[in-house]
Amino acid sequence: MGKIKEMLFGRKIDGTRIVPIVIKIVMLFSVLLLVSNVFSNYINLVINQGQQMRLLKMLLVKDLREIYTFAGNQYTIYSIQGGYDESIKAIEAKGLSDFSGDDSFDNSLCLAIKPDGSLLFHVYKYEHIVAPHEDLAGITAEILTPVKGAEPKLEGTINFWFAGKNYFGVYKYNTNWDAWFLRAEELSDFNSASWTIFMIITAIIVLITAGTLILGIFLINHILRYIRVITKGVMHMQQRQQLDLMDLDKAPNDEITYMGLSMNALSFTIDNLLSIFRKFVTQDVADKAYREKEIRLEGESQDLTILFSDIRGFTRMTEVLGTDIITLLNLHYDKAISHIHDCNGIVNSIIGDALLAIFGAFAEVPVNKSVSSIRAAYALQDVASAMRVEMMKRRDELVKKRGALTAAEEEIYRAVLIDIGVGIDGGEVFYGNIGSTERMTNTVIGDNVNAASRLEGLTRIYRVPVICSRYVKDDVEKNTENFEFDFLHLDRIAVKGKKKHTDIYWPMLHATVDKALQKDILLFAQARDSYFKGDWKEAGKYFTKCKLPVTEVFITRMKSAQIKSGACPKDWDGTWKLESK
């Protein structure tokens, strides 16, 4: 039932009913066909009634001639024998006998009217009906004064009202009786048969049209079935907000199929352009452009988490590999970008070996943005590690096959061992489109963006894979439950040009923290606390016992030639001031 209703009345999209074109075409032609047939039937009725009126006139003239002749004979009898009333009754009897046949009408009328408007006689088929005085006066006026100033007509045709009914008749003046003899028929009686036929034919036309309408709906619906396929395809694409191809494999070779194939070609072209477009802009910008059909120079302040990744030793790699570095970068970015997208991140920019991603731009994502950024950071580390393992495997295969690598091959091997650092910070930043109407780009601007880049640089110094800020740590711990990371407080630093210090952390996965690592973490925490307090001798003891690579920077720092006897600097507040940005 639902499919039939949808086929006849269409379906609603966003409150608007989409009426099938087949129904419109069939209904239009059915209405035109019905009007044409009924109008043709009516014209036929009018023409037929005109012909019947001529036949009626001939019959009325015949009947009038008979009654007129009979009345003349009765007048002769009356003149010789007398008996006025008997002659009148004889005339009435003659008129009544003419109405007795089965082919006569119900309201047949014959009468004679004198110049003064009085009736000489009148005959009605079933009973004698005396017309109102105004009816007789109207007949008299019509006959006596047809035109102002003209002589009364002696014979002719007349339309008149008699006893509340509309009549058509013929009349002729009888000089003997000094009266106009009139023979008439009531028009509704005369036309009733024609109107009955008209209504029957009209009913037949309506039934045939209805049957043709139903048959036409199915036939045209079948012929134009691929319009429905195209329409459903377009509706489906509109609802999904995604371009797709329509299945027209079995479609006939006609204009509708050509239109569908053209739409498929257009859809494929647009989808291809959109795919290319998505590769050059961020996902949220592409989605917004698809929804709003335009890209504007606009932006807003948003609370985002920023991830910055950089390949270590990239300059040396470029010198060794030359243009082949592009192939290596593409291998790395192909998987790295995919992991960022899987973690609900947006790759904002790629500049050579550096990658900038943002988290939190998609409001509907249920996962905390900082959690997503840390997951992505370790996914990037896994990509780099997997590439290193693969390169080592291939090197071993070559060594096993050839015995050894050449010096040049060894240098290339070391160059392709990608190692990356990741810095993560967050906070209020400007995120949007800047540029001009001719050329624009999507960007993120703010101190937190620069801070993420500096944190990535610190991974080289502190020899850890990922470093994040206090913002990221607090965001994870305050806004998530059962978070999967431990944050090791590494240091308190002050960037050159900045008076405010920054606490930096190493986010570690719970799954990677075993007992040995937990022991080293506790040793590092004791060493770090002593270091912050200025008890560097005590800190040095713990740093020496700790096996974490990060301790080397503190040991080196405390053994610096600028520091006497391992004591902390004057005015030490636990903050290490970096000499470069």
pLDDT for position 136 = 66
Measured distance CA(182)–CA(155) in Å, rounded: 9
pLDDT for position 565 = 57
Q: How far apart are the first and last CA of the chain?
A: 73
Looking up residue 446, the CATH number of its domain turns out to be 3.30.70.1230
**pLDDT, mean over the chain:** 81
Query: Is there a domain that residue 200 lies in?
Result: no
Report helix, strand or coil for 357: strand
Contact 429, 306 (CB under 8 A): yes
Nearest to 459 by CA among 420, 427, 495: 420
Contact 104, 95 (CB under 8 A): no
Helix-helix angle 551-558:515-533, to 10 degrees: 30
pLDDT for position 530 = 92
Residue with tokens 């940005």: 581
Contact 162, 169 (CB under 8 A): no
510 Cβ contact list (under 8 Å, min separation 6): 484, 485, 486
Element (H, E) at 39: helix 21-81
Ramachandran area for residue 571 (φ above 0: left; ψ -120 to 50: alpha; else beta): left
Report helix, strand or coil for 337: helix
**Largest Cα–Cα distance in the chain?**
177
Query: Is there a domain that residue 28 lies in?
Result: yes
> Between the CA atoms of 38, 43, 44 and 47, what dihedral angle is there, to the nearest 10 degrees?
160
Measured distance CA(350)–CA(311) in Å, rounded: 12
Same structural domain, 172 and 73: yes
Helices (H), 251-324: 255-280, 283-292, 314-321
Name the phi and psi angles at 225, rounded to 5: -60, -30
Domain containing 520 equals 514-574
Q: Which of residues 510, 531, 549 is at a domain's end?
A: 510
Same structural domain, 465 and 529: no
Same structural domain, 502 and 548: no
Looking up residue 62, the CATH number of its domain turns out to be 3.30.450.20
Contact 318, 324 (CB under 8 A): no
Measured distance CA(67)–CA(108) in Å, rounded: 14
Same structural domain, 182 and 47: yes
pLDDT tens digit sequence for 344-400:
999 988 888 899 999 988 877 889 999 999 999 999 999 999 998 988 888 888 888
Query: Is there a domain that residue 436 lies in?
Result: yes
Q: What is the mean pLDDT of residues 108-115?
A: 84
Query: Is there a domain that residue 230 lies in?
Result: no
Q: For the residues of 154-182, what is the DSSP string, one character each?
A: SEEEEEEEETTEEEEEEEEEETTTTEEEE
pLDDT for position 561 = 41
310 Cβ contact list (under 8 Å, min separation 6): 353, 354, 355, 420, 421, 453, 456, 457
Same structural domain, 316 and 179: no
Q: In Å, how far are 46, 63, 130 from 50, measured between CA atoms? A: 6, 20, 30
CB atoms within 10 A of CB 487: 19
| pTM (predicted TM-score) | 0.60
What is the DSSP pairing of strand 576-577 with strand 485-494? parallel
Q: Which of residues 195, 222, 242 is at a domain's end?
A: 195
Measured distance CA(261)–CA(298) in Å, rounded: 38
pLDDT score of 499 more than 80: no
Q: How many domains does the chain have?
A: 3
Q: What is the mean pLDDT of residues 555-579?
A: 75
Measured distance CA(60)–CA(51) in Å, rounded: 14
Which of the pair, 170 or 569, is modelled with greater confidence? 170
Measured distance CA(191)–CA(159) in Å, rounded: 15
Nearest to 356 by CA among 316, 307, 405: 307
10 Cβ contact list (under 8 Å, min separation 6): 17, 18, 19, 20, 23
Query: Is there a domain that residue 220 lies in?
Result: no
Same structural domain, 501 and 524: no
Name the phi and psi angles at 155, rounded to 5: -155, 160
For a pLDDT cut of 70, what percent of the chain falls above it? 80
pLDDT for position 133 = 55
For a pLDDT cut of 90, what percent of the chain falls above it? 23
Same structural domain, 392 and 537: no
* Token pair of 503 as six digits: 């606490």
Nearest to 424 by CA among 376, 362, 494: 376
Number of H helices, E strands in the chain: 17, 16
pLDDT tens digit sequence for 115-128:
887 888 888 765 55
Q: Which of residues 179, 195, 211 is at a domain's end?
A: 195
pLDDT for position 363 = 75
Query: Is there a domain that residue 240 lies in?
Result: no
pLDDT score of 463 more than 90: yes
Same structural domain, 333 and 466: yes
Contact 153, 142 (CB under 8 A): no
Amino acid at 424: I
What burial class does residue 136 get, using C-beta atoms within 10 Å of its C-beta: 0-12 exposed, 13-18 middle, 19+ buried?
buried
pLDDT tens digit sequence for 212-258:
777 777 777 777 666 777 777 776 776 666 667 777 777 777 666 76
Same structural domain, 100 and 43: yes
Same structural domain, 350 and 471: yes
**Highest mean predicted confidence (pLDDT) among 23-27, 136-140, 443-447:** 443-447
Residue with tokens 């030639």: 561
Three-state SS string across 416-461, please? CCCCEEEEEEEEEEEEEEEECCCCEEEEEECHHHHHHHHHHHHHHH
Residue with tokens 């993560």: 424
Sign of the alpha-carbon torsion through 267, 270, 276, 279? negative
Query: Is there a domain that residue 62 lies in?
Result: yes
pLDDT score of 506 more than 80: yes
pLDDT score of 492 more than 70: yes
Same structural domain, 167 and 147: yes
428 Cβ contact list (under 8 Å, min separation 6): 301, 302, 303, 446, 448
Measured distance CA(143)–CA(153) in Å, rounded: 6
Query: Is there a domain that residue 348 lies in?
Result: yes
Measured distance CA(271)–CA(437) in Å, rounded: 23
Same structural domain, 304 and 187: no
pLDDT for position 68 = 87
Sheet holding 119-124, edge to edge: 119-124, 109-113, 179-186, 165-174, 155-162
